[in-house]
Amino acid sequence: MSVLQRDPRDRVQVLDEDGSVVGEVPDVDDETLLSIYREMKLARHFDTRAVSLQRQGRMGTYPPLSGQEGAQVASAHALDEEDWLFPSYREHGALHVRGFPLDRILLYWMGTEQGNEAPPDVNTFPVAVPIATQTLHAVGAAWASKLKAGEEAFIVYFGDGGTSEGDTHEAMNFAGVFDTPTVFFCNNNQWAISVPRERQTRSETIAQKANAYGFQGVQVDGMDPLAVYQVTRAAVEKAKADDSGELRPTLIEAVQYRFGAHTTADDPTVYRDSDEVEKWKRKDPIPRLETFLRDTGRLDDDRVDEIESEVQETVADAIQTAESTPRPDPDEMFEHVFAERTPDLDAQYESFAALREEFGDDAFLHR
């Protein structure tokens, strides 16, 4: 039985909280397993440094990802080279796995639109900050690919809060009706800013919502990288052709937790209990995979030290590159909202220009 045929209330798991094998280990080569581990370590260190940059005033508001590395990195590794990734605003780890440079991710959160431009050979769409709008973009692109007899799968990430948006319903309904090669990846991290998951839906699981759209949904332990890889790989293959030769979408609900704030503008201590956070930290995906890799002879102390040094150097280089890139003139924020500036934008520009003249550029430019 395919892992996707399980009851959507039956959570898929390969590693328990201690890193011991409790399920079927996916067929993944050693190089990929070590790459998943390294990319998770990289994402965690990048996240720590990015939060620090924001606190120092060297970057704008930033959405932390710590705790969600397993879901992001493992799912991105399960894609084929030709597949497309549609991120929300928190998929820094997944984007980098697909080849998106870390310095560009930093530039985006520093207010430079250049940071939203993927290199020509990287199949990723721009970051979507509006909630769930990217689900429609992904389904549209997937449908276009199907009409052209393409062979790509299209994965789109969104949060548990995004399932309350009409865009998500429309996207899944369209995907179900027209059999688009879409993988809907819901990062259920328990909180949509300060709104808990139980205030989003009365459904027992988010995965079972797929039943209403006529395709399969599966719930997976989102902090178990091996389980995430297994489920995502199966969904990608199904998006390209199931046993009958038909393309079919899938909804994956990855149950996980964000350790930090929703963004650096948020204070999670107002609405979350510290005991809850500590409970979830015991499920941390990084030590879980590390334990498995050590127990199976794929990783040792020397390799861990080597990876940590590589990670620190990579992130430091990305920060230096981003901070040495010239910042755009703040006036540019008014130029590309619409093809032509509207009267409202003209009024905002005039107000901004007056403030800039009064307080000087240092009040508006990150140096």
CA separation, residue 201 to residues 131, 209, 340, 360 (Å): 16, 10, 41, 48
- Cα separation, 162 vs 187, whole angstroms: 9
Whether 78 shows a pLDDT value over 90: the answer reads yes
- Lowest-confidence pick of 74-83, 279-288, 307-316, 352-361: 352-361
**Confidence tier at 258 by pLDDT (50, 70, 90):** very high
Taking residues 212-232, report their average pLDDT: 98
- Terminus-to-terminus CA distance in the chain, angstroms? 56
- Confidence grade of residue 33 (pLDDT, cut at 50, 70, 90): very high
Task: Say what the alpha-carbon torsion angle 203, 204, 206, 208 is, to the nearest 10 degrees.
Answer: -90
Query: For residue 367, is pLDDT > 60?
Result: no
* 226: confidence class by pLDDT, cuts 50, 70, 90: very high
The reported pLDDT for the residue numbered 365 is 58
Q: What is the pLDDT of residue 172?
A: 98
Active site residue 282: no
146-160, 308-322, 348-362: least confidently modelled range: 348-362
pLDDT band with cut points at 50, 70 and 90 for residue 1:
low
Q: What domains can be seen in the chain, in order of their start residue?
A: 3-323 (3.40.50.970), 330-363 (no CATH)
Which position has the token pair 């190089």? 31
H-state helical runs in the chain: 30-55, 69-77, 92-97, 102-109, 133-147, 166-178, 210-213, 225-240, 274-281, 285-295, 301-323, 343-359
CA 7 to chain CA centroid, nearest Å: 25
**What are the Cα distances from residue 330, in Å, to 59, 334, 363, 366?**
15, 8, 11, 10
The residue ranking higher by pLDDT, 247 or 112, is 112
Tens-digit pLDDT profile for residues 328-345: 888 888 888 899 999 999
Q: Name every residue whose Cβ is closer than 8 Å to that of residue 56 and which is 6 or more positions away in sequence.
A: none
Catalytic residue among 55, 199, 271, 282: 271
> What's the average model confidence in pLDDT over 317-329?
93
Known catalytic membership, residue 356: no
Catalytic option among 248, 262, 272, 288:
262
Residue with tokens 């549209």: 140
Nearest to 263 by CA among 57, 42, 60: 60
CA distance 233 to 153: 11
Helix (H) or strand (E) holding 124: none
User: 256: which residues sit within 8 A by CB, 6+ positions away?
Assistant: 67, 68, 70, 71, 187, 188, 189, 190, 221, 222, 223, 285
Given a contact cutoff of 8 angstroms between Cβ atoms, the answer to whether 215 and 247 are in contact is no
Which residue is associated with the tokens 């941390």? 284
φ, ψ at 195 (rounded to 5°): -95, 120
DSSP structure class, residue 183 = E
Q: How far is CA 276 from the centre of its chain?
A: 23
pLDDT tens digits for range 147-186: 999 999 999 999 999 999 999 999 999 999 999 999 999 9
How much is the average pLDDT of 27-34? 97
Query: Given 11, 38, 258, 272, which residue is catalytic?
Result: 258
Is 229 tagged catalytic? Answer: no
Averaged pLDDT of the chain:
94
